[in-house]
Chains A and B, each alone.
Chain A
Amino acid sequence: MNIHEYQAKKLLKDFKINTPKGFVSYTPLETSNLAKKISFKGPWVLKAQIQAGARAKGHFIEKEAEGLCGVEIVKKHKDIFGVADKMLGKNLVTDQTSSKGKFVSRIYIEEYTKTKQSFYLSFVINRIKACITLLVANQTDNIVDLAQKKPESILRIHFDLNQKVSHQNVLQILEFLHLAPSNLPKLKTFIQNTYKAFLSLDATMLEINPVGLTFDGSFTALDAKISFDDNALFRHPDIQKMRDDYEMDESVLRAEKYGFKYREFEGGNIGLIVNGDGLALAVYDYLKQMHESPACYLNIKGGVDEDKIAQSLKILMTNPKVEGILINILGGFLRCNLVADGIVSAVNEIGLNIPLVTRFEGTNKEAAKAILEKHHFPFLTADSLQEATLKLINAMKESD
């Protein structure tokens, strides 16, 4: 789960990490009024709150907001209303969003912070070393690019769970960033607090980009991005409440309610129902090879409840872009007969006028086949992925 910048900053404050003074606002008038609570003479920074990075290099789709990006520095108070008015309610496109962009429903307005120096800092889960890794870089733009082209320009320090950020670690970071030794105590506190936040919050990534060193010698989180481990959210009821459902697609949310994963893709006309990400990926690869594309996929991995399966099948079946459905289930933990029951009850309820191919293998496969046969639905069945795909493609051509 991700949260907005303003929420992340609020959380960081709980761990005694400095952030610029700021408020979240939902209307231009509110933005303009809140600016006065921050300072009487600017400049102020207006930041569009969407859950995607690279906002400062983004652009809005709407003509009215032409020329603006997702992070605007405004010098005169009288201009704040106008800028906020242009940003709010528009769609912001960045390198990290789709071409449709993301809807800006709120603006975070904060004081403009002058810095002597700024740098990149993040704590992330390191899968391969099974540890936590601290990443630090002098450069604050295009960090992924930097990792590729100049890997040596990123400092990586690995921590196992019992290890703390030591004096030695901080010295190394200080030198790497060419900071004066006098900065050591404050840098140490800043990094230790950030690490503490990372662990306490069950984050998978806590990125502060940039960290600003201000003229009074403090370190401040000028931006903040936190991703949480969904599987640990049960330990954090307060964070669960921060979720912004408007950031998510309605169908995705519905599927999630039943415990399943649903995703849509741009282009494509095939609806995929599988049990397992790996299988979804393989089918996707295979369809691409056949010059076909999926419109969406539903992963019913771990399903044990026929009703929940039926409800989530309906999400995919009612997607208007779907012109054919491929159900590829390799039952292990999931029993094929439950899926067959789910299909029958979904089709009984909403009908079906597009081709549907099923392929069942594994646990209770025969029972599943028997259920489908009993109901005499015009389904096609197949014994391999290849056969299923070919049958579906042919059936879709015929129904054109």
Chain B
Amino acid sequence: MSILVNQNTRVLVQGITGLQASFHTKRIMAMGTNIVAGVSPHSAGGFHLGVPIFSSVKDAVKKTKANASLLFVPARAVKDAVKEALEAGIKLIVSIAYGVPILDALQIHKMVNDHGALLIGPNTPGIITPDEACLGVFPENILHRGHFGIVSRSSTLTYEAILETNRAGLGQSTVVGIGDDMIAGCHFDRIIDLFHQDPDTNAIILIGTLGGSYEEKAAAYYGTIKNKKPLIVYITGFESFHDDIGYASDIITHGKITIEDKKRIFRDAGALVLNSIDDLHETLARLK
């Protein structure tokens, strides 16, 4: 078991013929991902990397029964691509590009909710269940199947967490990057919930950053779970990185939230809170 994606996920790649998309599609196919279709209006009817290409998502879904879409389209095209996927009935969408305009992101958020779908990203390395499916740009040489669920806002810190679980001789059930854009498609609490339903996940690592309050929402949710799985939390960030958006969100969120506030909220909810990413190593060793 795992969450959201596995070997049976039938993946469609939107924007498959692009240079970067080709590079990563080839890799994730080698990692075992079941890529059933690609969408590119210019190359429809042919094959790319051995994958049949369709002119629309609707067409691709009809012919190949694809049930998840991986978006390798540029940021400014994400809104239209998501819309197309939703209208074709896709319920799981992963959008890699960073830099989606915020008003587009708000519209995307609403469309995804209205369709009862789930969007991972934008601005994410994607989602991976090791040895089964990778919808994203995760490096192939660092993942090992195991029982840790990882959910993170930062892509590079996700890799750090993966490496640490490996070092401790543990592995990952599923790794989800929810993305570090201002408006994330999916929040931590949803993923924490899914990990709790997954018998293959024994413990969870959550990596948050300063800015916004997805972490507070996650902590509040975790606090209400009765049969909790252990949750290891690392939150990073110093103020100078977030000066622009921080100001406005401080007013919305009833005052300034510091890293210490976020850590305290998680501790109160029963999570194990790290002071440094390097402490992850020891904490995992203790959990073993």
Contact = CB atoms under 8 A, between A and B. Distances in A.
Interface string B231-269: 000101110110011011111111110000000000000
B106 interface: yes
Interface string A262-300: 010100000000111111111011100100000000000
A137 B107 CA distance: 28
A164 interface: no
Contacts of B224: none
Contacts of B253: 128, 147
A385 B277 contact: yes
A124 B251 contact: yes
B182 A127 contact: yes
A385 B276 CA distance: 11
B102 A231 contact: yes
Interface string B191-210: 00000000000000001011
A361 B252 contact: no
A161 B125 contact: no
Contacts of A276: 154-157
A333 interface: yes
B251 A332 contact: no
Given A332-B155, A362-B141, A285 B236 contact: yes
Q: How large is the interface on B (under 10, 10 to 19, 20 to 34, 35 or more residues)?
A: 35 or more
Given A144-B255, A277-B180, A281-B237, A128 B212 contact: yes
Nearest to B238: A284
A161 to B, nearest CB: 5
Contacts of A321: none
B64 interface: no
Interface of A is mostly: mixed
Give the residue among B109, B156, B211, B247 with the most A Cβ atoms within 10 A: B156
B144 to A, nearest CB: 14
Interface in A1-26: 2
Interface in B161-184: 163, 167, 180, 182-183
A56 B98 CA distance: 38
A182 to B, nearest CB: 29
A127 B249 contact: yes
B217 interface: yes
A125 B105 CA distance: 11
B255 A148 contact: yes
Contacts of B13: none
Given A202-B101, A263-B240, A332 B154 contact: no
A229 B101 contact: yes
For A132, A232, A331, A333, the residue with the greatest tally of chain B CB atoms inside 10 Å of its CB is: A333
Nearest to B109: A130
Interface of A: 2, 122, 124-128, 130-133, 135, 143-144, 147-149, 151, 154, 156, 160-162, 199, 202, 204-205, 227, 229-232, 234-235, 263, 265, 274-282, 284-286, 289, 301-302, 304, 330-333, 361-363, 365, 384-386
21 contacts: A124-B252, A127-B182, A133-B252, A148-B255, A160-B110, A202-B102, A202-B103, A204-B102, A204-B244, A204-B248, A205-B248, A232-B103, A232-B104, A278-B207, A281-B237, A282-B234, A282-B236, A285-B277, A363-B137, A363-B140, A363-B141
Interface of B: 20, 24, 75-76, 96, 98-107, 109-110, 125, 136-142, 152-157, 159-160, 163, 167, 180, 182-183, 207, 209-214, 217, 234, 236-238, 240-241, 244-245, 247-256, 275-278
